Chain A
């Protein structure tokens, strides 16, 4: 029987989920704080954790890190309010399985739990520790898994893809979380001379730091305590083909050195071995952050940056290409109908209008979740506006624009706060504890302000 831990300070949600999941055959435990939750994980490791994004004693980022340190195989689904969607999407890149927004619908959560546990068991069955979440090797046809955009901005990017794909240039793709960077990487691979060879996609943010070396470059038997057999790393698995390194800024300095050697000299060494192995791999990397900032604070090597950035691509966020939003929405609706056994045929025109003007801070992932949820809730054959999250219904694109242009007092206060925060972060070299001291606030307040103003650091 699968064991689930629910961590939420809201008794109502805990009671609802505990009872519902037990009725559906799970063993369930509940914790109301992060401290108690983590203690329970150490005592009896759950298969999956449903975790509130804002606990009284920890936030989602801290919780995910702590949970993965205990056991990186535990699947984590976050329960968030809509204002945290953008950060929740980023957490998926760091190893969370998915997020759901409040109000919660137990049926939606049950579907997610079942698919998360399927992924977990396919990862557990593998003889090496390559988990389906971290890496996937291209077996399924590209066209079955992805849909392309139709907007001018998207097509312009694809023109650049066609230019660079047949070359051997390393490509660095930049763009917000959830914007479709993997799509571009796959398109590069498919249009290259390596298209018949493996495409290995790696979420660098999801690999625990203590095993990243072995995951990427492999190890020999006996190299460390759990190394009971030789293992090929992702670079060897991608030999002859393409490796896609998503969230490249998350790699440690030590790994960056080895990566640079792999690119420059086309050799790797396994952990515990002194012999070099030749590899012929094209590297495509992606980041949602300004790597220049990471170079400035010495957390990312400048020479590696230049090696990765032989050709640069930028995928624009969804809000800059509304025509693509509708194209993708229809694709996700089809997907939702298939997965949830529904027959929803279309979107009401009011919904289309909303989709075209909403900001989509979580980009494609957010759009997918919104469409899937609406599909689940829809009792007719058309998705109507009442099925959308409140935050999208209420979102006013004009107000959002005015807010940034407004010369009123509120705008002046916001600008001043933002400037003060950025100034403190730069002075403290993005050390948030020191920045909070400089600003004379506690860390939690600083984090909240950064979330409010969408300041990423």
Chain B
């Protein structure tokens, strides 16, 4: 069974040329920008704004792919399609709960990494 909370810093390490300061900057940026996006996503769902849901998820994809957050990536791709046509609000809410749960867990682990390094 795949680990729901799986992510990897391998690609990010390569992209930051193994510079620890650069790596930590990117980890902090990942946490900050996506915390904000998740808050915006919650509001977009409350307002039944499909297009905005799609746009936010489209934007989140880049950084989640960079950290290979494999459980959430397909969900973001699915919701990103809401840019083109109305989706299903029940589905969006369920998906949001997963994104929020997984992301909160990962943010916590990443913060621990920063403190320890």
Contacts and interface: CB of A to CB of B under 8 A. Distances in A.
Interface of A: 9-13, 15-16, 19-20, 23, 54, 81, 102-107, 390, 448-449, 452
A19 B65 contact: no
A12 B17 contact: no
Interface stretch (B1-9, B54-62, B95-103, B107-115): B54-62
A271 B41 CA distance: 57
Given A19-B25, A448-B84, 14 more contacts: A10-B59, A10-B62, A11-B32, A12-B34, A23-B19, A54-B58, A102-B61, A102-B65, A103-B11, A103-B66, A104-B66, A106-B15, A107-B15, A452-B84
The interface residues of chain B, by DSSP majority, are classed as helix
Interface of B: 11, 14-17, 19, 22, 25-26, 29-30, 32-34, 58-59, 61-63, 65-66, 77, 83-84
B59 A20 contact: no
16 contacts: A9-B59, A11-B32, A12-B30, A12-B34, A12-B63, A12-B66, A16-B29, A19-B22, A19-B25, A19-B26, A20-B15, A54-B58, A81-B61, A103-B66, A448-B84, A452-B84
The interface residues of chain A, by DSSP majority, are classed as helix
Contact of B58 (A11, A16, A81, A104): A81
A12 B15 contact: no
Contacts, number: 59
A433 to B, nearest CB: 20
Given A20-B15, A103-B65, A12 B29 contact: yes
A11 B17 contact: no
Interface centre among A15, A104, A106 (most CB of B within 10 A): A15
B78 to A, nearest CB: 12
Contact of A449 (B16, B29, B32, B84): B84
B17 A23 contact: yes
A105 B15 contact: yes
A102 B62 contact: yes
A16 B84 contact: no
